[in-house]
Structure 1
Amino acid sequence: MARVTAELLARTAAELADESGFGNLTVSAVARRLGVKDPSLYAHIANARDLKTRVALLALDELADRVAEALAGRSGRDALVAFAGAYRAYAHEHPGRYAATRFPLDAETAAASAAPRHSAMTRALLRGYGLPEPDETDAVRFLGSVFHGFVSLEATGGFAHTPRETDASWAWLLDTVDAALWSRRPGNA
């Protein structure tokens, strides 16, 4: 049995979330995995919500690092494809953690998390399209909705009964998003 630390607790919980689903994550399951009694975890967490918050924060950090690496040195369509691909790959590799990135955080926790990094990276990507406000804010929401919607449907088998490969639909989606963003550029609208 390893000495339980806050970091070990969060990583173990994230692994369990990937294996069993974020919605199924419990303090008892984490305690069993660590080989300790439930009460010993309360030295590091306040309750089950706190446990899920820690997984969300860890996932937001991991995903932000992955997206930042994917975006480095890219702009325009190339950045869009790298950005979207990083999100989709993370969701495939870590389904429970990806679900955790959508866990509602209180305002103070969200502000101190990697969530502002995600927003800043999205806006940096969009600068390559030259969108003025309020189009840039609308585009941030558009990208989040489109990418999360596709990835979520894909994760739940929403495309299982269609003859077209999901990668082909993903490529079509990226082409369409790119064209839509270019169409909103001043002088093109």
Structure 2
Amino acid sequence: MPRAGLDAAVVTEAGACLADEIGLDRLSMIAVADRLGVKAPSLYKHVDGLAALTHRIAVLGATEVGDTVRDATQGRAGGEALAAAAQALRAYVSAHPGRYAATTGAHARDADDPFAPAVEQTLTALAAALHGYRLAADDRVPALRMLRSILHGFATLEAADGFQLNTDVDDSFAWAIEFIDRGLRAKRAA
């Protein structure tokens, strides 16, 4: 009989918090069970195993990223929306590196998998941040991919303490966002 108060959502949240603390690569069912004060086999009543738990964390992370970026860009346009989206994503990765890591490389398993709409929500929020640039239809997907790539790269490098030069990381981030903004405005003008 499942333990009272323990369900798939509770196990997922505990796993996500633990992944943020120790790293997704160090996450295990035993560690999650210890966090919840139960024996590892009791988790399998709620989550099929580590791969299933990691996928559930990816859905949670993608949903949270989409919500975070959407909320940050609400009522903003152009460079202001771009900067808000960028800062929101960067802050999310810093606060939740394990959840975010789970989203990288995850795929929807079937048509009913909640991962697909969660990722779509993130893409929609980022695309909305680009809307004010009035890009040509052919430029929208490349612009979105460029933005995701730069933000992902910067945020994950920063979260991994990958910037070792003795310069201000915030200044570098602001420079990158300003550079992207100038490029997008120039593309619109072309």
TM over 0.5: yes
Structure 2 counterparts to residues 15-94 of structure 1, below 5 A: 15-94=17-96
CA contact (8 A) 2:54 2:102 kept: yes
Q: Sequence identity, in percent?
A: 41
| Deviation beyond 4 Å, 4+ runs, structure 1 | none
Give the superposition deviation at 1:106.
2.8
SS in 1 for 2:59: helix
Are 1:179 and 2:179 matched, yes or no? no
Aligned residues: 186
CA contact (8 A) 1:60 1:113 kept: no
Give unpaired runs (5+ residues) of structure 2.
none
CA contact (8 A) 2:107 2:115 kept: no
Task: Kindly report the root-mean-square deviation, in angstroms, between the aligned alpha carbons of the 2 structures.
Answer: 1.6
Alignment match, 2:131: 127
State how far apart, in whole Å, the 1-side matches of 2:98 and 2:92 are.
10
Normalising by structure 2, we get a TM-score of: 0.92
> Any idea what the Cα deviations from partners look like across 1:135-171, whole Å, max 9, x if unmatched?
10000100010001111111222212x1210000001
Structure 2 counterparts to residues 112-151 of structure 1, below 5 A: 112-151=116-155
CA contact (8 A) 2:82 2:181 kept: yes
Give the superposition deviation at 1:111.
5.5
> Any idea what the Cα deviations from partners look like across 1:74-133, whole Å, max 9, x if unmatched?
000000000000000111111111212214123533664411111111222211101112
Normalising by structure 1, we get a TM-score of: 0.92
- Opposite residue 68 of structure 1, the aligned amino acid is R
Give unpaired runs (5+ residues) of structure 1.
none
Alignment match, 1:98: 100
SS in 2 for 1:184: helix
